[in-house]
Amino acid sequence: MRFSRIKAKLAQGQPTLITCCHFTDPSVYEMVSLLGFDGIWLDLEHHSTSDETAATLMRAARVGTSDMVVRPAKGEFMRIGRILEAGAQGIMYPRCESAEEAEELVRWAKFAPQGARGVDGAGADNPYCMLPMPEYLQAANEQTLLITQLESPAALDAVDAIAHVPGVDVLMIGPGDLSVIAGIPYQFDHPLIQDAYQRVAAAAERAGKSWGTTSGGPEHSRRLLDLGARFICHGADIIMVKRGMEAIQQDYAPLGFMFDNRVPALTEELRRAVS
């Protein structure tokens, strides 16, 4: 099994940088891991990626040094075991609303006596029945990274209780869902979001846990680091490709090239529909 790079750095108080890969080409995961990012966020909550495809992507990432941080959907506790067997170092659990839900996450992600995760040992994390089971079980419990995402006002109200659940490593603010549920969609400078940073930072410090969130860039990340955040998520391959294609269009339009860009028309149609 691979020990968690993120857990080791967080234990030393060092910041960790996680980037998101949306595409399902294994070469993307191989490249990012070779570059040495602390973690790769693989999203199985919003995407249709199968467990089989996810296992292939995680296998590609093992050529480098990045942790695989995988997000199942809310309540997909049985899937967590399969994700870990396939070689994930971390589970990012969405929409955690209470200490009881955080305890359920730990129960499904940790072997006894910490939890009730089923034992197999034939997957990539053992790997493939090659390691002695007693030592493997202990190391897996110690090395599995558990992140609870706080994505609603109710979750913020329960943050202290969630933070004190044994086995939870990181408290992560999900600003997108939090802003939508709170009725301030994507107003990330709103006082409610800024207050969330303060509340989660304080709860993490009281419980001796790490915390973090997504970041739009270095300046924002610096503010988060100043607040004590050490789990920073930035960037996504799909956004990088989009921006790269837009840059090509901007560079070549002055040369007389024309593009049948459908996005402005779709945007206008959307605005008319909601006006």
39-67: average pLDDT: 97
Q: Is residue 269 part of a domain?
A: no
Tell me which amino acid residue 241 is: V
- pLDDT reported for residue 192: 97
Q: What is the CATH number for 50?
A: 3.20.20.60
116-137: average pLDDT: 96
Q: Is residue 215 part of a domain?
A: yes
Q: Is residue 264 part of a domain?
A: no
Place of tokens 């109200």: 157
Per-residue pLDDT band for 167 (boundaries 50, 70, 90) equals very high
pLDDT by residue (tens digit) across 74-112?
A: 999 999 999 999 999 999 999 999 999 999 999 999 999
Q: Is residue 239 part of a domain?
A: yes
In the chain, DSSP assigns E strands to: 16-20, 39-43, 67-71, 90-93, 145-150, 170-173, 210-214, 231-236
Q: Does pLDDT of 1 surpass 90? A: no
Q: Is residue 274 part of a domain?
A: no
Q: How many residues does the chain have?
A: 275
With CA atoms as reference, report the closest residue to 96 among 30, 151, 33: 151
Structure token digits, residue 89: 């170092």
Q: Is residue 256 part of a domain?
A: no
Backbone angles phi, psi at 71, to 5 degrees: -110, 110
Query: What is the reported pTM?
Result: 0.96
Q: Is residue 160 part of a domain?
A: yes
* Domain span including residue 131: 5-245
Compute the CA torsion angle 29, 30, 31, 36 (nearest 10 deg).
90
**Is the peptide bond prior to 26 cis by the omega test (within 30 degrees of 0)?**
no
The tally of domains found in the chain comes to 1
With CA atoms as reference, report the closest residue to 203 among 238, 163, 172: 163
Q: Is residue 119 part of a domain?
A: yes
- pLDDT reported for residue 38: 98
3-state secondary structure at position 37: coil
pLDDT by residue (tens digit) across 3-42?
A: 999 999 999 999 999 999 999 999 999 999 999 999 999 9
pLDDT by residue (tens digit) across 212-270?
A: 999 999 999 999 999 999 999 999 999 999 999 999 999 999 999 999 999 999 999 99
Place of tokens 């969330």: 196
